[in-house]
Structure 1
């Protein structure tokens, strides 16, 4: 727990109020726990809450900068896990979708299904060394069918500055 607390101390200041800071801590502890499914309901129960509302508020309404938290985590990784023989690991994962409104969703290959399906694809960058491993970056893959359609992007809340990038270059674009 001391190692977790040290790592969490790096990001705690990104939450301007004590309530979201406590909720973020509980959320992360839930993600690291052995709960079977990591939905807001299960994470809320793990934290001792009766409903998922506090967890949902943290993820959907609380004010905090995910990119700055990511940068703080990277700093922790460099300090605690950094090694000249460390490696970066890039991987994508698909989430099958039925509609077309979720950001980046289109018919595309996803290893989740092992074929072309309607899916949203996320790209993750991890760092691994003999000292440990962790995720250090993430992004949603936006196919050209999205980046070439500013109205569609605007409707889905995609920032104006978003441009097409291949999966291999995405984490560096964050």
Structure 2
């Protein structure tokens, strides 16, 4: 549903350049549960594109939750923006490193993971934390191709 424009934010002079939307999403598994989103998009954005982008929200939240649990993204105790920014940047860099490393290990012959549910994420929720799901025990033997100097 398109919401009315706000003159102070949605117009540049007399010309509108953004629009506001209210999106409602019903769960397929639980039809009684409805999620609502407020969206703010350029005029040329189509409804299909808006819905597609809103659908990526959960995957992004999973990544941030995993970074909080695995890399200490939420463990900063700083007083200034520069310290906070450095901490967040390093935590996300560490998370990216772990994701790439896990992907490389899978590419080296480790048995593919069995996916549970509809999510394609390697991160699974266990109680109040998120953990990277790695296939069963495996042995990795380094070869000359793996060693770089």
TM-score when normalising by structure 1: 0.19
Return the structure number with greater helix share.
1
Bigger-Rg structure (1/2): 2
